Chains A and B, each alone.
Chain A
Amino acid sequence: MPRKVSYGLDYDEDYGYDYEEVDDYRLDYDADDSGDVPIAREEPSRSTSNVWRCSICTYDNEEGLPACDICGVIRKTHIDVNNAKKTASASLKKDLPTERISTTSEENSNVVTSRGRHVNVIKSEHGSQLDIHASGSREVALEHGTSADEYKHQVLTSSSNSFSDESTNSAQKASSLKPYSHETWMLPEKGESVLTQLNIAIVGHVDSGKSTLSGRLLHLSGRISQKEMHKYEKEAKLQGKGSFAFAWALDESAEERERGITMTVAVAYFDTKKYHVVLLDSPGHKDFVPNMISGAIQADAAVLVIDASVGSFEAGMDGNKGQTREHAQLIRSFGIEQLIVAVNKMDAIEYSKERYELIKRQLGTFLRTSGFKDTSVQWVPMSAITNQNLDANPDDIRFSSWYKGPYLLKAIDSLPPPLRDFSRPLVMPVSDVIRSPSTGQISACGKLESGAMRAGLKVLVMPSGHLGTVKSMEHDSRPCTVARAGDHVAVVLQGVDGSRIIKGGVLCHPDFPISVAKHFELKVLTLEGASPILIGSQVELHIHHAMEAACVKKIISVLDPKTGEEMKKSPRILTPRQRAVIEVVLQGPVCAGEYSNCKALGRVSLRASGRTAAVGFVTRVIED
Chain B
Amino acid sequence: MRISRKDIVPDGPGSVKLVPVDSDDLWFAYNLIAVGDSVMAVTVRKVLREAASGGRDAERVKLKLEIKVEAVDYDKVGAVLRIRGKNILENEHVKIGAFHTLEIELQRPFVLRKEIWDSLALDVLHQATDPAASADLVVVLMQEGLAHIILVGRSVTTTRSRIETSIPRKHGPAIAGYESALNKFFENVLQAFLKHVDFSVVRCAVIASPGFTKDQFHRHLLLEAERRQLRTVIENKSRIILVHTASGYKHSLREVLDSPSVMNMIKDSKAAQEVRALKDFFDMLSNDPTRACYGPKHVEVAHDRMAVQTLLITDDLFRNADIATRQKYVNLVKSVKDSGGAAHIFSSMHVSGEQLTQLTGIAAILRFPLPDLDDIEM
**Chain A contacts to B: CB under 8 angstroms:** 252-253, 255, 259, 263-267, 285, 287-288, 290, 431-437, 445, 477, 502-503, 531-532, 534-538, 540, 549, 551, 570-573, 575, 587, 607-610
Which of B170, B216, B294, B355 contacts A264, CB < 8 Å? B170
Further pairs besides A435-B177, A535-B358, A572-B378: 19, Cβ < 8 Å: A267-B171, A287-B244, A288-B210, A288-B211, A432-B168, A433-B166, A434-B169, A437-B177, A477-B172, A502-B166, A531-B282, A532-B285, A540-B247, A572-B289, A572-B294, A587-B249, A607-B247, A609-B246, A609-B255
Would you list 13 pairs from A and B whose C-beta atoms are within 8 A, ordered by A residue?
A252-B170, A263-B211, A431-B169, A434-B169, A435-B168, A503-B166, A531-B282, A535-B360, A536-B357, A538-B355, A540-B249, A549-B249, A572-B373
**Would B355 and A536 count as touching, CB distance under 8 A?**
yes
Is B47 located at the chain interface by the 8 A CB criterion? no
Q: Would you list which residues of chain B between 276 and 324 have a CB under 8 Å from chain A?
A: 282, 285-286, 289, 293-295
A572 and B171 contacting across the interface, CB-CB below 8 Å:
no
A253 touches B175 (CB 8 A): yes
Tell me whether B212 is interfacial, beta carbon within 8 Å.
yes
In whole Å, how far is A433's beta carbon from the nearest beta carbon of chain B?
6
Pairwise interchain contact B285-A534, C-beta atoms closer than 8 A: yes
A307 CB → nearest B CB, Å: 21
Write out the residue numbers on chain A whose beta carbons fall within 8 Å of the beta carbon of B378.
Answer: 570, 572
Question: How close is B156's CB to chain A, nearest CB, in angstroms?
Answer: 19
Contacts of B246 in A (CB 8 A): 287, 607-610
Interface centre among B172, B210, B247, B285 (most CB of A within 10 A): B247
Which of B169, B251, B285, B294 has the most CB atoms of chain A within a 10 A radius of its CB? B169
In the bound complex, residues from chain B placing their C-beta under 8 Å from that of A434 are 168-169, 174, 177
Which residues on B sit within 8 Å (CB–CB) of A290? 247
Residues in B whose Cβ lies below 8 Å from that of A288: 210-211
- Whether A573 touches B168, Cβ cut-off 8 Å, given contacts A253-B175, A435-B177, A536-B355, is no
- Report A-chain residues with C-beta under 8 Å of the C-beta of B174: 434, 436
Closest CB of chain B to A302's CB: distance in Å? Answer: 20
B144 to chain A, nearest CB (A): 9
Contacts of B168 in A (CB 8 A): 432-435
In the complex, what residues of B have CB within 8 A of residue A436's CB? Answer: 174
- Shortest B224–chain A CB gap in Å is 18
What total of chain B residues lie within 8 Å of the partner, measured CB to CB? 39
Partner of A535, one of B171, B177, B359, B373: B359
Chain B residues within an 8 Å CB radius of A532: 282, 285-286, 289
Q: A532-B286, A573-B289, A609-B255 are in contact. Are A253 and B211 (CB under 8 A)?
A: no
Shortest C-beta distance, B167 to chain A (Å), equals 9
Chain B residues positioned under 8 Å from A608 (CB to CB)? 246
Is B250 in contact with chain A by the CB < 8 A criterion? Answer: yes
Interface residues of B in 131-189 (CB under 8 A from A): 166, 168-172, 174-179
- B374 interfacial by beta-carbon distance below 8 Å: yes
A residues less than 8 Å from B176 (CB atoms): 437
A259 and B212: CB pair below 8 A?
Answer: yes
Please state if A255 and B212 are interface contacts (CB–CB under 8 Å): yes
**Contact partners of A535 in chain B: CB under 8 A:** 358-360
With A252-B171, A534-B359, A535-B358 given, is the CB distance from A287 to B249 under 8 Å? no
Q: Which residue of B lies closest to A253 (CB)?
A: B170
Which chain B residues border A570 with CB–CB below 8 Å? 377-378
Complex Cα spacing A290 to B248, Å: 12
B212: A residues at CB distance < 8 A:
255, 259, 263
Q: Chain A contacts of B357 at CB under 8 A?
A: 536
Q: Are B175's CB and A531's CB within 8 A?
A: no
A287 near B282 (CB under 8 angstroms)? no
Nearest-neighbor residue (CB-CB) of B289 within chain A: A573
Q: Mark B244-264, 1 if CB is under 8 A from A, else 0.
A: 101101110001000000000
Write out the residue numbers on chain A whose beta carbons fall within 8 Å of the beta carbon of B355: 536, 538
Contact yes or no, A432 B282, CB < 8 A: no
Are B282 and A536 interface neighbours, CB within 8 A? no
Q: Measured between C-beta atoms, what is the minimum distance from B295 to chain A in Å?
A: 8
CB distance from B195 to the nearest CB of A (A): 24
Q: Which residues of the partner chain B approach A287 to less than 8 Å between Cβ atoms?
A: 210-211, 244, 246
- The residue in chain A whose Cβ has the minimal distance to the Cβ of B167 is A503
CA distance A571 to B293 in the complex (A): 12
A536, B357: Cα distance in complex, Å: 8
Alpha-carbon separation in the docked complex, A259 to B212 (Å)? 10
Whether the pair B289, A575 counts as a contact (CB closer than 8 A) is: yes
In chain B, positions 339-378 with a C-beta closer than 8 Å to chain A are 355, 357-360, 373-374, 377-378
Chain B residues, CB < 8 A from A531: 282, 286
Q: How far is the CA of A222 from the CA of B214 in the complex (A)?
A: 38
Which residues in A have their C-beta under 8 angstroms from that of B294? 534, 572
- Residues from chain B with a CB closer than 8 A to the CB of A263 are 211-212
Most interface-central of A534, A537, A609, A610 (chain B CB within 10 A): A534
Shortest CB-to-CB span from A266 to chain B, Å, is 6
- Interface centre among B255, B286, B377, by most chain A C-beta atoms within 10 angstroms, is B286
For the complex, give the distance between the alpha carbons of A152 and B202 in Å: 71
A572–B295 Cα distance when bound, in Å, is: 10
Residues of A contacting B282 with CB < 8 Å? 531-532
Chain B: CB-nearest residue to A534: B359
For B244, the chain A residues whose CB sits under 8 A away are 287
Shortest distance from the beta carbon of A81 to any chain B beta carbon, whole Å: 44
Task: Chain B residues near A433: list those with CB within 8 A.
Answer: 166, 168
Which chain A residue shows the least CB distance to B180? A437
Whether B251 pairs with A252 at a CB distance below 8 angstroms is: no
A572 vs B376: C-alpha distance when bound (angstroms): 10
- B171, B255, B373, B374: which contacts A266 (Cβ < 8 A)? B171
Partner pick for A252 among B175, B286, B359, B377, CB 8 A cutoff: B175
Interface string of B209-242 (1 = CB under 8 A from A): 0111000100000000000000000000000000
Tell me the complex Cα distance, A435–B246, Å: 29
Q: Closest Cβ of chain B: how far from A280's Cβ, in Å?
A: 11
Taking CB atoms, residues of chain B closer than 8 Å to A534 are 285, 294, 359
Bound complex: CA A575 to CA B286 (Å): 8
Question: Closest CB of chain A to B375's CB: distance in Å?
Answer: 10
> With A253-B178, A538-B355 known to touch, is A285 a contact of B289 (CB < 8 Å)?
no
- Chain A residues lying within 8 Å of B251, measured Cβ to Cβ, are 538, 549
Give the docked Cα–Cα distance between A624 and B144 (Å): 30
The answer for the CA separation of A445 and B360 in the assembled complex, in Å, is 43
Kindly list chain B residues whose C-beta atoms are within 8 Å of the C-beta of A575: 289
Residue of B whose beta carbon sits closest to that of A609: B246
Give Cα A23 to B125, complex, Å: 59
The 10 closest A-B pairs by CB, nearest first: A536-B358, A610-B246, A538-B251, A549-B249, A287-B210, A536-B359, A287-B211, A432-B169, A434-B174, A253-B170
Chain B residue nearest to A288 in the complex (CB) = B211
Residues of B within 8 A of A573 (CB): 285, 289
Residues of A within 8 A of B359 (CB): 534-536
CB distance from A503 to the nearest CB of B (A): 6
CB-CB under 8 A from A537, the residues of chain B are 358
Instruction: Specify which of A263, A287, A431, A432 lies most central, judged by the most chain B CB atoms within 10 Å of its CB.
Output: A287
For the complex formed, measure the closest distance between the CB of A267 and the CB atoms of chain B, giving whole angstroms.
7
